[in-house]
């Protein structure tokens, strides 16, 4: 079983931006997306602050977010990257399988990638992610490069919407 300790806020910037965006989409009645909680069992708790300092994951999580957009089921995972090379080891086999099965059920699966050093957000359709995944599984590079990404899928912040993934979903639907 995987455990975590002291890597606490990894990914929290993107997660907070997505959570805010999901709330705005819900208020506007455009989408209903929820964060999927990661089930953990605490091992050590700091008695003074009541914070969990060591825990293990009860089971493998699927994706970070799941919900519906105008009646269309969607699921996605959010990943942060601080370089121009994204390691495929950050995408787990059970996540790929879940997203693959989700797509087979007529849902839309994708990744939201935040290149923190560039302050850029990328919508990666499942098909693109799966192609990189398969390449890595079949002896190719175990990462993909920023330069391999299509400019078409970079998301532009508009107004108060920090992670406008509905724009990515719209393009994704149009390309199917």
Helices (H), 43-164: 93-104, 126-137
59 marked as binding residue: no
77 marked as binding residue: yes
Find the farthest-apart pair of alpha carbons in the chain and give their distance in angstroms, rounded: 53
Alpha carbons 99 and 109: distance in angstroms, whole number: 6
Q: How many CA atoms lie within 13 A of 144 on its CB side?
A: 21
Which residue in 106, 111, 101, 95 sits closest to 71, CA to CA? Answer: 106
If one counts every other C-beta atom within 10 angstroms of the C-beta of residue 29, the result is 8
Residue ranges of the annotated binding site for Mg(2+) are 62, 64, 77, 95
User: Which residue ranges are tagged as binding site?
Assistant: 62, 64, 77, 95
């Amino acid at each position: 079983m995987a455990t975590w300790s002291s890597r606490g806020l990894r990914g929290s910037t993107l997660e907070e931006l997505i959570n805010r965006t999901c709330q705005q989409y819900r208020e506007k009645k455009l989408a209903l997306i929820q964060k999927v909680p990661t089930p953990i069992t605490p091992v050590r708790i700091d008695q003074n602050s009541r914070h969990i300092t060591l825990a293990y994951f009860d089971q493998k999580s699927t994706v970070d977010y799941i919900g519906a957009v105008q009646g269309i089921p969607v699921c996605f995972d959010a990943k942060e990257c601080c370089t121009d090379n994204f390691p495929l080891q950050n995408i787990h086999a059970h996540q790929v399988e879940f997203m693959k099965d989700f797509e087979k059920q007529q849902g839309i699966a994708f990744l939201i990638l935040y290149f923190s050093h560039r302050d850029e957000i990328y919508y990666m359709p499942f098909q693109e992610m799966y192609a990189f995944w398969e390449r890595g599984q079949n002896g190719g590079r175990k990462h993909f490069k920023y330069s391999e990404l299509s400019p078409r899928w970079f998301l532009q912040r508009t107004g108060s919407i920090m992670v406008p993934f509905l724009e990515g979903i719209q393009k994704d639907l149009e390309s199917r």
